[in-house]
Amino acid sequence: MNNTAETIGFIGVGLMGHGIAKNLLAAGYPVYVLAHRNRAPVEDLLSKGAKEVKTLADMARNTTVIHICAPGSPEVEAVVAELLP
């Protein structure tokens, strides 16, 4: 188990994000995910120990590091704009 104080959040757990999040869970990191329209990767990560948050604000409150795996710059910018005050 990893002894770090980092708690990692994932926004976007499609093909790339799911694989990274799965490996971090296996390495012992606490991982939080934000639901996606495709529930299969979210459910898989939850079965491996991830926790789900419902909003970006919840993600920011519960994590120290947030990975954004979005399809393009406009989506990333929208997430960052909502996360920053």
Identify the pLDDT of residue 4: 65
Domain limits of the chain?
11-83
Q: Which class is domain 11-83? A: alpha beta
- Classify residue 23 by burial, with Cβ atoms within 10 Å: 0-12, 13-18, 19+: exposed
Distance CA 10, CA 22 (A): 11
Tally of CB atoms within 10 A around 83: 15
Identify the pLDDT of residue 35: 81
Nearest CA among 28, 25, 84, 30 for reference residue 62 = 30
- List the helix and strand counts (H, then E) for the chain: 4, 4
Per residue in 14-29, pLDDT tens? 989 999 999 999 999 9
Tally of CB atoms within 10 A around 9: 26
Per residue in 31-79, pLDDT tens? 999 987 889 999 999 999 999 999 999 999 999 999 999 989 999 999 9
